[in-house]
Structure 1
């Protein structure tokens, strides 16, 4: 269809990007963007763009992606736990300052002919435009003004995070847990300029309260930074910061909000980016999602004969990918919640657990990226020398390793029910294995198993989501109850069971035929 007029609410990356795409495709269309803040007022630090996201942006608009890459900072990734640091090779991972990204996208939007209106607060019902795109953020006024129509639900996460930065470039992107007298703080940090790095620090609510951060949060004005928390954490991460301080930008402790909407459009108004959905920062950024929303919306408008068909198509095509990412992000978020419980795991094996935590990457796929890391991690898993770990046929090798636990021995990790022997049978039927329902099942299995020499056999539905949840509950049982955990796994999902074994989520696998 040919558009006559488009109004975009919100001058973040998603709004600027979709405005440019639409103006390029519809040069005779009037495209206006409205942002209530001045162009030089932005919050946040760096934005990371993975290789796949870069490919998507290049396919949609090579010119703007080239400008982004030119002003970005390329880096590798590492994990450091209790003084043990391992470099993780990453292909073409880049980051860019948020303000720099906005400058690039603003210039390219203007070059395309988009009219930008800064310092202007407008609402969707005030605009006389054929299409209104609400890219007005996680607290979207457009969404909230029509709450019943869009049907938003907001889940607030238990843990807390603090988004800050520092004034030097870290040598790599790093995952850094620090243990303090109050508890563990975990940093997700990465460089985004020669003299700047992002430092996102998260912790559980109990640690946050013990450190007194409930009080510092309460006395920090909304438009200022929590300087007491920044000072405390600058000391806690002093070794990693190399003497540099943490700096804030309206930095205060927050709880992540996962937003889902029953509908993304109504009449001529469509939600885009954080206004429509959010996914936890540990696996995907709002910037990536918003810009890829823009690509999907631009394509739907080009292919459909009218606006209603276009908006329906945009939502039908884009929603499954977003919801899949949200579910993956939920699993990743819960893994990071429990990360402090894994600090006893050797870092190479911990990296296998990290990469396979959400069912997106197999052991073999990770080995293609970081073969040395996987070999060392599998040596820890099997209790053998690194030289004994094969470079091929890893699945069979992992399944064939013996298990010795107390006075019990299994000749391989893949067993039949008869080989498993005496056990407690438990069907996993929880959504969140780390939550209250998971607590109930852990107590149930612990009470039935009696002593730590007994085994627990977990069963679940045959779909991948249910199997991954079963593995997570298995990890809780191994750590909290000290029992041997076996899991029934359909044959088509054995590669995920292999990752669970290597990561310490389960001890044994009972392969089962897939249900009809």
Structure 2
């Protein structure tokens, strides 16, 4: 089988690994428009269940990923100078480039080919390919070229956001909210290695305009943000992506949905198929799950069209559920002032429960448990339970 993957993100690279493991004789080539070793973004988050999922599908790459991430055992909510509220919980993050390097090396070791600095504009050059996997991101050129076939919907979110980094290494996952003359502005921050932290800033369009960000360049924006969040940065700097140095780094999140996930022998994967708001951090998880599901369906169904239809049916259900939770989360932030409360613990509880439970999920998060998390003893108990669950999953006890 000859497979072409357009895009060397987590979805494309992981699928190339699984395809070579399933059939070492298959021909798999990944085309990436960026140079090798160059990516955009800082760190990506994932949970223990994602690590477990990786281990069950390719233990070798999973072990390398697990040895690289940063972790945290608490989430803090800081509102101006009020006392911090605790959300508890643990998580992991890894530098996006580090993750891609691991997956790239593994794919190459298995015999996949990766062609960097190759912008694909015409799929006719792959007329001899049995399968074309479009995993070239939310702005997928492949998907856009066949948008009517996939019945793609793209909708811009209301708020403005910018993806930054900082050389301050945070110990926890932190939500920080500051009120200024122009309104409220906030960030999500989490460490992704021993030297840096991802720092995503968000605000309403009214606050964005009020701060003059519609007229300021990247360096000026960074300086203003460093001043606004000075109490959180402790004198450290914010870092702007290199690709945004010549234009505004601010974006509106784009919601991508597709009614159909394949057309002929072209199939969508990752952000090309679906996007989930960064406030719930499911992008990498869904991309990996897409790759595993497509590989499994190809193994189960010798007929390609049958496999692609089965893949689309299965993944659209899971992605749809995550997108619904993500929309609830995004709406909470778009209407932040409705949820503000002078008591930081109550405000944090509203933040915690913002993504409404998906079908089949447990109902909400108990208020009493949230209150217990504010006590050091309660946090220690939660960490003990979380550690026990992790060990149970790891050793099958």
Which residue of structure 2 aligns with residue 113 of structure 1?
Answer: 111
Which residue of structure 1 aligns with residue 156 of structure 2?
Answer: 156
Which residue of structure 2 aligns with residue 455 of structure 1?
Answer: none
Q: Find the aligned partners of 1:66 and 1:208 in 2 and give their Cα distance.
A: 42
Which residue of structure 1 aligns with residue 240 of structure 2?
Answer: 248
Q: Find the aligned partners of 1:241 and 1:374 in 2 and give their Cα distance.
A: 23
Which residue of structure 1 aligns with residue 39 of structure 2?
Answer: 42
Residues 11 and 291, structure 2, Cα contact 8 Å, conserved in 1: yes
Q: 1:353 to 1:272 in 2, by over 3 A?
A: same
- Provide TM-score, normalisation by structure 1: 0.68
Aligned match of 2:298 in 298, 301, 308?
A: 301
Residues 353 and 365, structure 2, Cα contact 8 Å, conserved in 1: no
Q: C-alpha deviations, 1:103-137, integer Å up to 9, x for none?
A: 11111111121111111223433112111101111
Aligned match of 1:6 in 3, 7, 11?
A: 3
Residues 436-515 of structure 1 aligned to structure 2 (within 5 Å): none
> CA shift at 1:5, angstroms?
1.1
Residues 8 and 132, structure 1, Cα contact 8 Å, conserved in 2: yes
Which residue of structure 2 aligns with residue 463 of structure 1?
Answer: none
Residues 321-336 of structure 1 aligned to structure 2 (within 5 Å): 321-336=318-333
> CA shift at 1:185, angstroms?
0.7
Q: Find the aligned partners of 1:172 and 1:375 in 2 and give their Cα distance.
A: 16
Q: C-alpha deviations, 1:315-369, integer Å up to 9, x for none?
A: 111110101111110011011122244333422222322222222254556766x
Q: Find the aligned partners of 2:353 and 2:55 in 1 and give their Cα distance.
A: 28
Q: C-alpha deviations, 1:25-64, integer Å up to 9, x for none?
A: 1111011111111112211101001223222222222221
Q: Find the aligned partners of 2:339 and 2:79 in 1 and give their Cα distance.
A: 10
User: Which moves more between the two structures, 311-320 or 36-45?
Assistant: 36-45
Residue 342 of structure 2 is aligned to residue 350 of structure 1? no
Other structure's SS at 1:48 match: strand
Q: C-alpha deviations, 1:411-469, integer Å up to 9, x for none?
A: xxxxxxxxxxxxxxxxxxxxxxxxxxxxxxxxxxxxxxxxxxxxxxxxxxxxxxxxxxx
Residues 404-419 of structure 1 aligned to structure 2 (within 5 Å): none
Which residue of structure 2 aligns with residue 60 of structure 1?
Answer: 57
> CA shift at 1:195, angstroms?
1.1
Residue 84 of structure 2 is aligned to residue 85 of structure 1? yes
> CA shift at 1:161, angstroms?
0.2
> CA shift at 1:288, angstroms?
2.0
Residues 355 and 366, structure 1, Cα contact 8 Å, conserved in 2: no
Which residue of structure 2 aligns with residue 205 of structure 1?
Answer: 205
Q: Find the aligned partners of 1:375 and 1:41 in 2 and give their Cα distance.
A: 43
Residues 178 and 185, structure 2, Cα contact 8 Å, conserved in 1: yes
Residue 229 of structure 2 is aligned to residue 237 of structure 1? yes
Residues 301 and 307, structure 1, Cα contact 8 Å, conserved in 2: yes
Other structure's SS at 2:309 match: helix
Q: 1:371 to 1:305 in 2, by over 3 A?
A: farther
Q: Find the aligned partners of 2:137 and 2:229 in 1 and give their Cα distance.
A: 31
Q: Find the aligned partners of 1:89 and 1:200 in 2 and give their Cα distance.
A: 20
Q: Find the aligned partners of 2:347 and 2:181 in 1 and give their Cα distance.
A: 24
Residues 168 and 237, structure 2, Cα contact 8 Å, conserved in 1: no
Residue 90 of structure 2 is aligned to residue 70 of structure 1? no
Residues 79 and 85, structure 1, Cα contact 8 Å, conserved in 2: yes
Which residue of structure 2 aligns with residue 192 of structure 1?
Answer: 192
Count of aligned pairs = 364
Residue 220 of structure 2 is aligned to residue 228 of structure 1? yes
Unaligned runs of 5+ in 2: 379-397
Q: Find the aligned partners of 1:125 and 1:363 in 2 and give their Cα distance.
A: 50
Q: Find the aligned partners of 1:358 and 1:116 in 2 and give their Cα distance.
A: 38
Q: 1:140 to 1:29 in 2, by over 3 A?
A: same
Q: Find the aligned partners of 2:371 and 2:299 in 1 and give their Cα distance.
A: 44
Which residue of structure 2 aligns with residue 372 of structure 1?
Answer: 372
Which residue of structure 2 aligns with residue 396 of structure 1?
Answer: none
Which residue of structure 1 aligns with residue 169 of structure 2?
Answer: 169
Residue 101 of structure 2 is aligned to residue 103 of structure 1? yes
Which residue of structure 1 aligns with residue 269 of structure 2?
Answer: 272
Query: Which of these two proteins has the greater Rg computed from alpha carbons?
Result: 1
> CA shift at 1:140, angstroms?
0.6
Other structure's SS at 1:279 match: coil
Residues 208 and 214, structure 2, Cα contact 8 Å, conserved in 1: yes
Which residue of structure 2 aligns with residue 137 of structure 1?
Answer: 137
Q: 1:118 to 1:237 in 2, by over 3 A?
A: same
Other structure's SS at 2:84 match: strand
Other structure's SS at 2:251 match: coil
Q: Aligned-residue CA RMSD in angstroms? A: 2.0
Which residue of structure 1 aligns with residue 387 of structure 2?
Answer: none
